[in-house]
Amino acid sequence: MKWFSNLLGSVIVAIGLIGCGGDILEDTTPSGTLDENFANGDGYRIYNSIGHDDVKKMKIDNNDNIYLVGDRVENTHQYASLYKINTSGNLVSSFGNNGIVKKQVELNKNSWGTSLVINGTNIFFSGAGYELSNNTYLDSAIWKVNANNGSGTHRLILDMPDFSEEINDFVIVNNNFYTATNYKNSTSNYGVKIMRYTNMWAYRVLSLSTQNSQSKSILYYNNKFYVLADVGGFSKNTLIWSLNNDNSLTYNTGFNSTGKIEKDLSLISYGTSVERITSSKIDNNGNIFITGYIDGGSTNHYDLFVAKFKNNGQLDNTFANNGIFTFNNSDFNGDDSGYDLSIDNNGKIVVVGNTNVAMNNKNILILRLNSDGTLDTSFNNTGILKMDLSDSNYEYAKAVGFDSNNKIVVAGSIGGYPTRDIFIMKINP
């Protein structure tokens, strides 16, 4: 195994100085380096599987246990999967089957995980899969399992005849479940619905769009919901709805006057019109941060982007360049993609994804931004960290969070089909 980064301090030297009083003073651990207290001193771990494993999202509990949701292929069957990893970087053997809980929406029908929520002593995770009767329509489910041992069979099933339904994300508010759901029939384009469930039963459905749109995430802040989607054909725009947490889920007119805003972020940045949202977060002031990738224009590649919207629905023009930060790896004119972002206790934004370092060679990419959208040069001297953990040409960082010490936790996948493994790492902040 190998790892490297583009930092100037790839060779790390600890310097001890003797102060006037005889005290030993040491430099702090360099920011942007692997945490040598994690995974037996390596700072990362790759979980070799017998098939194909992938990561979609991650949550970290109050004891720094890490939960990943994604999918796993075993013996031609694909499962929505939930992984539990302890503070040493090991799968927790007492959780599910050697650290993994596997579920299918319908028996022997391929399924995949989409999102998860930690709720007290339980973990709820969502997934989608093909209907029992055919491989054309999708059904969705939310499973409830015990956070300690992974036991539990209770689930919610979303199954509308002759429709595909995919729960892409969900939140829990006052014991109600709110899902951002994609739906379509055999003749329509995808549309977006927000669905509300009480005790795992639906009692409110609001169709937000019948256009060619697909939801990416749902956020909750200050009694308001925010549903994010991309809309359009190949040339997609970013679409955000804001809804009040009332019985009818009425539109929040304090958000762009109508409760909805559509923006062509690629057009603003480059004069082109291709963009994809992958993830979003909301900070303690109700600002919304989005990442993904956009058309890099005449250079014929995709660039990673981060956009910041204020709680009134407008782009924050004080952030980066007119509210949008973009990144292109100058070492190689290839694609750069953001898959997830998170905001630390100091208001700094960590973005993870991948970058092309050569033709058909993707490495892990980690960026840290200041609150104003500039690269944070206190992180790895440049604000940029590229990593290569294996001999595979395909490495993707898919999810990011922080442990109780504000260390950066990154999860993702290594390899292509049919063999792909997941990894976890910790980075010093």
pLDDT tens column, 169-198: 999 999 999 999 998 876 677 889 999 998
The whole-number average pLDDT for the span 119-143 is 88
pLDDT in tens, 374-421: 999 999 999 999 999 988 888 999 999 999 999 999 999 998 767 889
Q: Give the domain range for residue 320.
A: 16-427
- Range with the poorest average pLDDT among 156-165, 192-201, 207-216: 156-165
pTM comes to 0.91
User: What is the model's pLDDT at position 184?
Assistant: 84
Query: In this structure, is residue 292 part of a structural domain?
Result: yes
pLDDT of residue 21: 44
The more confident residue out of 171 and 22 is 171
- Is 5 part of a structural domain of the chain? no
The alpha carbon dihedral of 33, 38, 42, 46 has a sign of negative
Q: Within a domain: residue 301?
A: yes
How many domains does the structure of the chain reveal? 1
**CATH number of domain containing 84:** 2.130.10.10
| DSSP string computed for 69-110 | EEEEEETTEEEEEEEEE-TTS-B-TTTTBTTEEEE-SSTTS-
- Is 248 inside a domain boundary? yes
pLDDT of amino acid 185: 72
The DSSP output letter for 265 is H
Highest averaged pLDDT of the listed ranges 1-15, 16-30, 373-387: 373-387
* Residue 368, domain member (yes or no): yes
Q: What is the pLDDT of residue 234?
A: 67
Residue 418 domain-assigned (yes or no): yes
**pLDDT at position 129 over 60:** yes
Q: Is residue 4 part of a domain?
A: no
Residue 9 lies in a domain: no
Give me the chain's average pLDDT, please.
87
DSSP secondary structure of 138-182: EEEEEEEEETTT-----EEEE--TT-EEEEEEEEEETTEEEEEEE
pLDDT score, position 295: 82
Return the amino acid letter for 237: N
| Cα(428)–Cα(32) distance, integer angstroms | 5
